[in-house]
Structure 1
Amino acid sequence: MPTNQQLKTCFILCYSNTSVYLPIYLVTVDKRTKNVVILAGEETEIEIYPNGLWRYV
């Protein structure tokens, strides 16, 4: 289950990506690291850490 910080960051990032018409293909939680992973568009992969910080992979 994602943390509250991950949920907020995930919503903001998904909103930002879809506002520029980039499709969101997958949002899931990595069971090993507890990071939220977003796959968007052709090349965009975003990882959100439990503290809400994120990075492009």
Structure 2
Amino acid sequence: MPTQEQIRTCFILCYRNTKMYLPIYLVTVDKRTKNVVILVGEETEIVIYPNGKWRYL
């Protein structure tokens, strides 16, 4: 289950990416690290850490 910070950040990032007409292909939680992973467009991967911080991979 994602944390409140991850949920908030995920919503903001998904909103920003779909506003640029990029498709969101996958949103999932990595069970080992508890990170939320978002696959956007053809080659963009975003990781959201449990504290709500995020980065592109």
Give a deviation string over 1:1-55, Cα, whole Å, max 9, x none. Answer: 0000000000000000000000000000000000000001001100000000000
**Following TM superposition, by how much is the alpha carbon of 1:56 offset from its aligned partner in structure 2, in angstroms?**
0.3
Report the Cα distance in structure 1 between the residues aligned to 2:43 and 2:13, rounded to whole angstroms. Answer: 15
**1:6-45 matched pairs, under 5 angstroms:** 6-45=6-45
TM-score by length of 1: 0.99
What do you get for the CA RMSD once the two structures are aligned?
A: 0.2
Give the aligned length: 57
Query: Which amino acid is 1:15 matched to?
Result: Y
Runs of 4+ in 1 over 3 A off after TM superposition: none
- Unmatched 5+ residue regions in structure 2? none
What residue is the counterpart of 1:4 in the other structure?
4
